[in-house]
Amino acid sequence: MAQSGAGKRTVERLRITVRGAVQGAVFRPHVRELARELSVGGWVRDSGDGVHIEAEASGGELDRFIERLRTETPADSRISVILSRKIKPVGDDVFEIRESSDSRREALSLPDVSICPECLAEIRNPSDRRYRYPFTTCANCGPRFSVLTGAPYTRAQTTMRGFAMCDECRAEYERPADRRHGNELNACPECGPELAALLPYTPLLHLIAEGAGRPLVITTGNVSREPACIDEREAFDRLGGIADAFLVHDQPIARPVADSLVRVLFREPQVLRRSHGYAPEPVTIARDGRPLLAVGAQRTGTVALVEGRDV
């Protein structure tokens, strides 16, 4: 695409769609940063089917821009495909973030990410304000898919919508250099869910394991072959005859997410059940498939949807 006949630089404009786990607070500023470094004009915004970018610069600059988009993905984002096509230049020489467009289709969201080392250190540090706080998260870790109730990914579209951030959490959320900048689930013991579920998340698992001081066998809250319970009344009803005690809290659970099962075969991980930590990221296939819905035969059966190259 680069045009440099006789040293003359031709300005080009591309319409780019980035698909994958790229929505959220981190990706758009990252795109703007790259664009500014490379003197690329245009804009970026979230939309229902991924992140849309229009980029204008010389062909060589645009090549570098796409290459760096592809290779310098921020932590917590994963790109499955970048599509681009040439459109007519309009003379943009600054690059800006635009408001999200209305999404008719729900964008792919991020899978849950296990607790990061920094958050783990905090919940173990007696002088940290999140000491032993089981809902500790940051922009790099924590639940995503399992707490999402709609799109785009904002706090109001998660099960945290009922918990307003305290001043300290709000300051972390707004400070660009903070690890919690843009963390939609930001919370602490002052403002987050009053302690008391096995939200399928790991700070709590760490705390329980440490408290028990011995290995524990943990399983999802369901009777064999039945779907998992996700609210406490259902759990009391269906599991009352099995469980000795219930640990409950007041943050709702949006959906049951099963544990993933992975087996190592010939030194390669082979996924037997693709769920927590993987879903809802798509598997990308080599070429466009026909639109197809595949469902399992049982109550807990798997559902797969083929759309383009995403399964």
Residues binding Zn ion (CB under 5 A): 116, 119, 138, 140-141, 166, 169, 188, 190-191
In the complex with Zn ion, the residue whose CB is nearer, 73 or 140, is 140
Q: C-alpha angle with apex 173: 170 to 175, nearest 5 degrees?
A: 105
CA atoms of 177 and 190, how far apart (whole Å): 23
Residue 103 or residue 114: which is nearer to Zn ion going by CB? 114
Residue 124 or 238 having the CB closest to Zn ion: 124
Q: Which is nearer to Zn ion, 59 or 189 (CB)?
A: 189
Partners of 47 in the β-ladder: 50
Structure token digits, residue 98: 């635009």
Shortest Å, Cβ 141 to Zn ion: 3
Shortest CB 219 distance to Zn ion, Å: 26
Q: Which is nearer to Zn ion, 190 or 226 (CB)?
A: 190
Beta strands in the chain (DSSP E): 11-21, 41-47, 50-58, 78-87, 95-97, 261-265, 268-273, 284-295, 303-310
Q: Which amino acid is at 297?
A: A
Residues in the chain: 311
User: Least CB distance from residue 114 to Zn ion, whole Å?
Assistant: 9
CB of 285 to Zn ion, least distance (A): 32
In the complex, the smallest distance separating the C-beta of residue 120 from Zn ion, rounded to whole angstroms, is: 8
**Which residue, chain included where needed, has tokens 């310098």?**
72
Min dist. Cβ of residue 240 to Zn ion (A): 34
Ramachandran angles phi, psi of 46, nearest 5°: -75, 145
> How many Å apart are CA 101 and CA 51, to the nearest integer?
10
97 or 164: whose CB is closer to Zn ion? Answer: 164
- CB closer to Zn ion, 177 vs 286: 177
What does residue 55 show for φ and ψ, rounded to 5 degrees? -130, 135
Residue by residue, DSSP assigns 107-173 as: PP-PPPBPPPHHHHHHHH-TTSTTTT-TT--BTTBB-SGGGB-SSS-SGGGBTTTT-PPPHHHHHHH
Q: How far is CA 161 from the centre of its chain?
A: 17
Minimal distance, residue 297 CB to Zn ion, in Å: 39
Residue closer to Zn ion, measured from CB, 53 or 188: 188
Closest distance to Zn ion from the beta carbon of 71 (Å): 24
How wide is the angle at C-alpha 281 spanned by C-alphas 38 and 311, nearest 5°? Answer: 110
